[in-house]
Amino acid sequence: MYAEGSPGRPCPEHERPRFGDIATFMRLPTAPSAAGSSVAILGVPFDGGTTFRPGARFGPSAMREASRTLYAYHAQHRRDLFDRFPAADLGDVAVVPGDTRRTLERTEAAVAAIDGEDAFPLVLGGDHSVTLGELRALHRRHGPLALVQFDSHSDLWDELWGEPYSHATFARRALDEGLIAPEHSILVGLRGSLESANDAQLPQRFGIRVIDSYSYITAGARSTAHAIRTRVGDRACFLTFDVDVVDPSHAPGTGTPEVGGPPSWHVLETIRRLAGIRPVGADVVEVAPAYDTAGITALLGATVAYEFLALRVLSGLSPFVQPASD
């Protein structure tokens, strides 16, 4: 049977052990809709937009499994994340294997329904193509969003093999459709070899600020978080985390790994220092568990989702809250 716990809260371990029951995110109760919830967890198990190694379709289930280790009280922020913000796991979008366009339509509809209930959609991917459906849904109500993208790739290609919808093109389509405000958007962690010099100019060409991996590591979490908060300002933003932003020594389970990235603690500390921004949605994508027998990538993905949830809670409590570590 499913762990039920209290409405909108994880099931307490003293009632049922963490290793039991069917896995939901953080052992939250399941629900058919976001009604009555402040946060709704949604899986999008799709990797039809992948251009190299497949397997991210198993990311949502792997992150739910890994999230069994996470508890409600956030030690750094000193907050019970569910004290005033009930949450539920809505399960997965009924994706269409092999059909990116129809999957995007279904993802858009599912996220729009969550947003329509005034709940925060926290999405577990899936490859990065699914983010486009989320942005389309949130743009309906919030207008062009500030995009905060943790990623080793820009995902700004116009097409690949003549196909305009893939995990390498989601940000380009979002720009084309006016879903994001480039002057408030930022890409953190860019690195790796490129096909041509033109690829290196894509973010600047579209007005998106870049903090490449070298600059990110050398500047540190505090400086990078300050740059993100300054760029976003008080605009409604969307947080997207591609696990390949982290060095593959800390996150091997992904489709297109790039060496030379930050360690996991670096990105977690950066996210914690974003307290005070105004996120209206978030996702964690590109977890491909088959390439990681130890499960550390799924644990990283689940923990980043937990940190995104904390940012939502903090944004609802105060216009600006500094992390307890400051």
Q: Which residue has the tokens 């497949």?
A: 54
2, pLDDT greater than 50? no
Residue type, 151: D
Pairing of strands 73-74, 79-80: antiparallel
Mean local confidence (pLDDT), 290-301: 97
The per-residue pLDDT of the chain, averaged, comes to 92
The span from the CA of 19 to the CA of 237, in Å, is 35
pLDDT tens digits, one per residue of 23-64 = 999 999 999 999 999 999 999 999 999 999 999 999 999 999
Whole-number Cα distances in Å, 46 to 117, 155, 223, 230: 25, 17, 35, 33
Residue 217 near residue 262, CB atoms below 8 Å? yes
Percentage of residues in the chain having pLDDT higher than 90: 85
Question: Using one digit for the tens of pLDDT, what is the confidence trace for 226-253?
Answer: 999 999 999 999 999 999 999 999 999 9
> Right CATH number for 25-317 from 3.20.20.80, 1.10.10.10, 2.90.10.10, 3.40.800.10?
3.40.800.10
Contact criterion met (CB below 8 Å) for 241 and 251: no
Say yes or no to pLDDT of 288 above 50.
yes
Please, what is the end-to-end C-alpha distance for the chain in angstroms?
42
Q: Which token pair is 86?
A: 């009930």
Grade residue 3 by pLDDT with cuts at 50, 70 and 90. very low
pLDDT (average), residues 280-287: 98
Give the pLDDT score at 7. 58
**What is the spatial distance between Cα 125 and Cα 135, in angstroms, rounded to a whole number?**
14
* CA distance linking residue 186 with residue 230, whole number of Å: 10
> What is the domain partition of the chain in residue ranges?
25-317
